[in-house]
Amino acid sequence: MVSLNSNNVPPEHVLEWCRNMVRVASQNAVWGIPRSGTTFRIDKLNKRLILVIPGFDDGDDFRATQHVFAFIGWDVITQEDVDNEQKQAENN
């Protein structure tokens, strides 16, 4: 897990690692966290990570990823969120 300072802000080296990872990744690339099996699809166009395989850690890595990536302007969402967005767009 990422160590946070007293303001719950990730260290700059962690934020830089995240920025670099999404910079070098291709649109729709897959990225995972080995310790939990949590796996995301990278949606560079919309600046978001989409959960494709939940981990076996009760969602801890998902929540930590949401927290950290928010600091670099990215959303971390589930496939269900994407499906709901698409349904709403179809209904409008």
* Stronger pLDDT, 34 or 8, i.e. the higher one: 34
Helix axes 12-24, 60-70, angle to 10 degrees: 90
Instruction: Report pLDDT digits (tens) over 21-77.
Output: 999 999 999 999 999 999 999 999 999 999 999 999 999 999 999 999 999 999 999
Q: Is the pTM of this model over 0.85?
A: yes
The structural domains of the chain, with segments of one domain joined by +, span: 12-91
> Following DSSP, what letter does each residue of 30-86 receive, concatenated?
EEEETTTTEEEEEETTTTEEEEEE--SSTTHHHHHHHHHHHTTT-EEEEHHHHHHHH
Our CA angle for 21, 31, 73, nearest 5°, is: 50
